[in-house]
Amino acid sequence: MDDGSELMGASPTRVSVVVPTRDRPGLLREALASIRALDGPDLALEILVCDNGRSQLVRDIAQELGARYLPVERPGAAAARNAGIRAATGAYLAFLDDDDLWLPAHLRPQLALLAARPDLDAAIGQVLLTDDRRVPTTGPWPVDYPDDGDLFAAFLREYPQIGATVARMRVRETIGLLDEMLFGDEDWDWHLRLARRHRIGVVPVVGVLFRQRPPGTSDDSQWERLGDMSKVYFRHLMHSGRRGLSLPSALRTYRRHRWMYYDYFVQSAAAHLAAGDRDAAWRSVRRALVASPLHAARDVLRPGVPRDVMRSLLGTGKCDRSPSPG
């Protein structure tokens, strides 16, 4: 196997692309097609479809689009990605979730940067968040990562998107696999380990459409992820002081991460109310309170969705607000 030291253009660069999936053949087809759209004489793309499900259609789609199909017995995205990482034979490692898309500008800028900068072992590009219909809901991010290769503090503050990351295959030996004991944020944990051990470059090019689910459609998974977020954060917090992040700043960052879950459950409660499901709305409100009681206490006293939701549930008002995109 090539160690990733070849120069771009000398021969086709072999990139292993790990695609975890489970019973979403329609989305998978779109994701694989977006990878295949980058094919060219300078690239040899090894696509590894790592399947937690049992759909024959998923296997057929993988074969149709020239991907290697890997059944994965253990459930979870971490186990699926790990199966692909173990099987990869490329010089570089990349990822794409089955509900996201690569854009034509992805991959080559990261590879060019890594070819020019042997001191870097990974490169990350920009993404656009979209709704479930692929309509962008944000501008490109990240926009303010440092260019010195030390991205640990930046990754602790803001979740990197794994679909935007390209790494030299040698990181498989230095930082290992994803933690299969985590239900969620296992990719964040992997990125933080990557940033602790390696220098990472930044490419200011949008290469990924990162699809978000509507509020109220992934409540249980978000609830499980909340606990894993805390595990990952405090697992890496001890390293923050040596990487330019003060303890007060680190704690403010943690509060912001909890606010993100709080905000999801508030928007979920509003969506459930709009659908007439008061029981589900109350469950989301309880989860919002657990996610961030400080934000709940603040928001219930001022105009906005949280106060509207509570007034509606208590029968003292009507929640007329539409939930914001997830």
Mean model confidence pLDDT for the chain: 90
Q: Are 48 and 88 within 8 A, CB to CB?
A: yes
CATH 1.20.140.10 fits 13-211, yes or no: no
pLDDT of 47 above 90: yes
CB atoms within 10 A of CB 237: 16
Give pTM, 2 decimals: 0.89
pLDDT of 3 above 50: no
Task: Report d(CA 43, CA 3) in Å as an integer.
Answer: 16
Q: Which of 54-63, 84-93, 240-249, 294-303 has the lowest mean pLDDT?
A: 240-249
Domain boundaries in the chain?
Answer: 13-211, 219-313
Nearest to 45 by CA among 101, 95, 112: 95
